[in-house]
Amino acid sequence: MKLQMKPIAYEQVTMAEAKRVHEGAPPDMTLEDWTKRRAGPDVHELIHEATSAWMRELPGEVRPVHLAERYPRIANKICALWMQPLRCAAYLSDLLIARRVRRKGFPAEVAMELGNLSIHYELLNPVGRPWQ
């Protein structure tokens, strides 16, 4: 038995039409309401005792005081990840890079603290250490 393929039906289109279909529609830039997805504002969360102890151990110039005051959830997470070099470095990097179009970013003093903390963390955990 010999198998035969059916001919493929096609229609002629311009190069511009083909390009538009190939590249797809432009991304939808509508704003998504993230407030309903979050557990609530950070101001209602408290700094954990472990986070306070971790912050006291940090050198004064890299201690994220403003971050802890304004975003305790983030400070608690950094503390929880601190002894996991790959995950902590990735989290710090993610905090510093805005990937969402409409993300406001952190206030200047918090962004500065995160940058200083990230540099300090890289000095403590250079790339190429055995666990990386």
Is position 26 within any domain? Answer: no
Residue with tokens 């311009």: 14
Domain assignment present for 14: no
Examine residue 13 and state whether it is found in any structural domain, yes or no: no
Residues 63-73: tens digit of each pLDDT: 999 999 999 99
pLDDT score, position 18: 77
Residue 64 is part of which domain span?
42-124
In the chain, the number of structural domains is: 1
13 pLDDT tier (thresholds 50, 70, 90): confident
Spatial separation of the C-alpha atoms in residues 120 and 98, rounded to whole Å: 21
Q: Average per-residue pLDDT in the chain? A: 81
State phi, psi for 128 to the nearest 5 degrees: 100, -5
